[in-house]
Amino acid sequence: MIGKLIIIAVGSAFINNVVLSQFLGICPFLGVSKKINTAAGMGGAVVFVITLASAVAGVIYKYLLVPFDITYLQTIVFILVIAALVQFVEMFLKKKMKGLYKALGVYLPLITTNCAVLGVALTNVQKDYSILEGVVNGFATAVGFLIAIVILAGLREKMEYNDIPKPFRGMPTVLLTACLLAIAFFGFSGLK
């Protein structure tokens, strides 16, 4: 059992990285990766939301949707769960971490529409994961997102001091960097 959980965790975080392999969650990945602090804050919020959403969605799916044969409502139910969790995170950050709340700005509510969060909940159902396996998959996927966004933020901070040709300044360089990062993570596919 532990071996399977480790395989799920490594696969979700590195081999099938949600941003660099599946290309889900690109909006906050590109938008919030200007500074390491805000990238880490967004990554932490995503870890919390995806992990909790995986647990809650798994319980609702297994004990409510399947027994009543209403699994066709899974997408709507998962979106409602995610929206509620993001509201909770937003209220917590607004009250306890005002600096991070302001730094994340519009990207914090965008976690609700972050396709990575919904993608993990749906993947857990499609792969027929147990609730524990789904939580491990969600946590590892979110950690993979955190790793990718912090690496990109670190690279972007270093690139600010480089003399980049005018046509490549800004988003073109960020996209090229993200592509190279995705190629680097592709190297983990040999671990399967």
pLDDT band of 140, cuts 50, 70, 90: very high
pLDDT at 86: 86
* Model pLDDT for residues 86-132, shown as the tens digit of each residue: 888 888 888 998 888 887 777 778 787 778 999 999 999 999 999 99
Helices (H), the chain: 2-10, 26-31, 36-60, 74-96, 98-104, 115-126, 131-159, 171-186
pLDDT at 141: 97
pLDDT at 188: 85
Task: State the Rg of the chain over Cα.
Answer: 17
pLDDT at 88: 87
